[in-house]
Amino acid sequence: MEQVIFDAVKELFDREIDIELTRPDAKFGDYATNVALQLAKPLGENPRQIAEKIAEKLRLHDDFTEVTVAGPGFINIRLSDAALLDLLHARPITKRLGKEVVIETNCPNPFKAMHIGHALNSILADTMANLLATDGATVHRVSYHGDVGTHVGKSMWAILREINRDPAKLNDVPVEKRNEFMSRMYVEGSRAAKESPEARAEIDELAKQSFVLDDPVYKQVYEICKRWSFDEIDSNVARLGNVPIERRYVESETEEPGKTLIIEKTPDVFTKSDGAYVFQGSKYGSFDNVFIGSNGNGLYGAHDMGLIQLKHQDFPDLDLSITVNGEEQAAYFRGVIAASELAIPSLKGKLFNYATGLVKLTTGKMSSRTGEVVTIGWLFDEFTKAIAEHGGDASEEIVAGALRYQFLKVKIGSDVVFDINEAVSLTGNTGSYLQYAHARARGVLNKASVEAAFPTTIEDEDRALIRKLTEYKEVVEQAMKQLEPHHICNYLFELAQEFNRYYEKNRVVGSEKEAHRVALVALYADILKAGLTILGIAAPEKL
């Protein structure tokens, strides 16, 4: 269709212009374009007159049953039934075929509880990876975790006291209680660091020990608890519905390559001041930041630059490297990316950080500096109870679907605010509603006396539903281009509503039009499942 309009403009005005189509309200047509307004200034003509000329040309095309001009020069187009049916065969155009992408799909630190903010970042990054893969890219999912530093010192301070420095006592902690134990230890260490200067001094020393591990008892306890943490992280990420990672990076392996590169790129990229290495990020939309301290220790910036190097070494042909972090870290990452692109010019334009908003529950405390957080486990328990109270199937995949959708339906960067009971409703804009909608459609198909075929005609009552079905391709292309899953969420909800309106007025099984309507139900169910799959949400056959 774009090509038809492009050719008309070329023939009429000898201009080549990208044609952008939008979906107007159904009463105005199936598509609209503002190409006449775009041409008005370069042609020096009235846009309405330009639109009339283009419309006259388009009316000669068999695929267009009605072409009208509205307002200052908008062109509305209604398609023929045959052209509308042809759109149902269209598939999203992939534009990243052959591209190689590395994306961090989870990054919670060990020795701490995995909380609701980690869930947001993990779910969003995993779904972005799905969009990239759908767009044809080769996607490498990786993770990054801080296994050294102050947070480790806080946990180790409490753990060593709890077991009286006897690693064998860790065997007394049941497997199912390990995460609870680790969470409690971190909370105790965080509280002690805040309330006791003596404890804070001890924690600082234990934090340093996480870098060297030359105390045999400390090392043994550290390695056991680190393994427990990663087992819990992997379990939680799987519960969220994420695709497994193929490579895990940890902070302890990033400092040396980061420091080496920074020193090598001084004074070209970094400046040395009183023994510290500083990047003047204020010149690049960030802030001036110390990457290596005056004591010679690499700080966060050095570690992140080391990580970038490791990913580049493991995936030398990468075209895109993506991280997803909270908005409070956005300025920091602008500085890290700017410094990395200056230090490694081949990475220029390949490094991106996406900033998320905050997660807020309508009830309950979210988090505090004491280490108390809303954990993934608590969140799953609450969703499970809420789904059961609504009379639904509280299986893991249903719970994960409800949880994922609440995060994904919000535009990236916006705060996520949700009520758990509303999030599992079968009547609102929720993952549970869409999972139920899919199961309901499959149930209709299972009761039908005919096999689904592809529709060959459009009845008057079909047009609104078919028109909505044809939007899937465009919505997925938009979501892939912008890496914004909320477009698919909004579309699937609107599609389910449109189908419900159709189904309420038009009997399927047992009607004289059963074969035709079964075809539409099958198309609807397939598109619903395809969209949910991109979102990482299971589409159950029955509930």
DSSP letter, residue 227? H
Burial (Cβ within 10 Å: 0-12, 13-18, ≥19) of residue 224: middle
Q: Is there a domain that residue 170 lies in?
A: no
End residue of a domain, out of 56, 79, 102 = 79
Q: What is the CATH number of the domain that holds 50?
A: 3.30.1360.70
What is the DSSP code string of 134-152?
HTT-EEEEEEEE--SSHHH
Closest by CA to 404, choosing from 437, 375, 430, is 430
Residue 375: pLDDT band with limits 50, 70, 90: confident
Cα–Cα distance list, 531 to 133, 275, 468, 493 (Å): 14, 54, 14, 11
End residue of a domain, out of 45, 79, 113 = 79
Burial (Cβ within 10 Å: 0-12, 13-18, ≥19) of residue 216: exposed
pLDDT digits (tens, 9 = 90+) for 44-79: 999 999 999 999 999 999 999 999 999 999 999 999
Q: Is there a domain that residue 220 lies in?
A: no
Q: Please tell me the least confidently modeled range out of 59-68, 76-85, 413-422, 488-497.
A: 413-422
| Statement: residue 398 has pLDDT above 80 | yes
Domain of residue 519 covers: 422-534
Q: Is there a domain that residue 428 lies in?
A: yes
Query: What is the crossing angle of helices 2-13 and 47-58, to 10°?
Result: 120
In angstroms, the CA 46 to CA 63 distance is 27
| Statement: residue 105 has pLDDT above 80 | yes
Q: Whole-structure pTM over 0.75, yes or no?
A: yes
Mean pLDDT of the chain: 94
| Statement: residue 503 has pLDDT above 90 | yes
The fraction of the chain above a pLDDT of 70, given in percent, is 98
Residue 378: pLDDT band with limits 50, 70, 90: confident
Q: Please tell me the least confidently modeled range out of 110-114, 188-192, 250-254, 490-494.
A: 110-114
Q: Is there a domain that residue 177 lies in?
A: no
Q: Is there a domain that residue 98 lies in?
A: no
**Residues whose CB falls within 8 Å of the CB of residue 66, separated by 6 or more in sequence, listed in order:** 29, 76, 77, 78
| Statement: residue 542 has pLDDT above 90 | no
| Statement: residue 199 has pLDDT above 60 | yes
pLDDT digits (tens, 9 = 90+) for 306-337: 999 999 999 999 999 999 999 999 999 999 99
Lookup: tokens for 281: 């990020």
**Which of the pair, 195 or 417, is modelled with greater confidence?**
195
Cis geometry, peptide bond prior to residue 197 (ω within 30 degrees of 0): no
Closest by CA to 69, choosing from 84, 53, 80, 81, is 53
**Residues whose CB falls within 8 Å of the CB of residue 297, separated by 6 or more in sequence, listed in order:** 255
Residue 478: pLDDT band with limits 50, 70, 90: very high
SS (H, E, C) 148-197: CCHHHHHHHHHHHHHCCCCHHHHHHCCHHHHHHHHHHHHHHHHHHHHHCH
Number of domains in the chain: 2
pLDDT digits (tens, 9 = 90+) for 418-474: 788 888 888 889 999 999 999 999 999 999 999 999 999 999 999 999 999 999 999
Residue 361: pLDDT band with limits 50, 70, 90: confident
SS3 content of the chain, % helix, strand, coil (to 5): 55, 15, 30
Is the distance from CB of 76 to CB of 24 less than 8 angstroms?
Answer: yes
Check residue 97 and give its pLDDT: 97
- Strands (E) across 236-333 are located at 247-250, 271-273, 276-280, 288-292, 320-326
Q: What is the CATH number of the domain that holds 474?
A: 1.10.730.10
Q: Is there a domain that residue 251 lies in?
A: no
Query: What is the crossing angle of helices 486-505 and 514-534, to 10°?
Result: 160
Q: Is there a domain that residue 180 lies in?
A: no
Check residue 359 and give its pLDDT: 87
Lookup: tokens for 268: 């070209």
Check residue 367 and give its pLDDT: 44
| Statement: residue 197 has pLDDT above 90 | yes
Closest by CA to 353, choosing from 294, 309, 413, is 413
End residue of a domain, out of 41, 63, 79 = 79
| Statement: residue 382 has pLDDT above 90 | no
Positive or negative: CA dihedral 143, 148, 150, 151 = positive
Q: Is there a domain that residue 191 lies in?
A: no
Lookup: tokens for 125: 């990054």
Check residue 372 and give its pLDDT: 59
In angstroms, the CA 134 to CA 128 distance is 10
Is the distance from CB of 126 to CB of 512 less than 8 angstroms?
Answer: no
Residues in the chain: 543
Is the distance from CB of 122 to CB of 157 less than 8 angstroms?
Answer: no
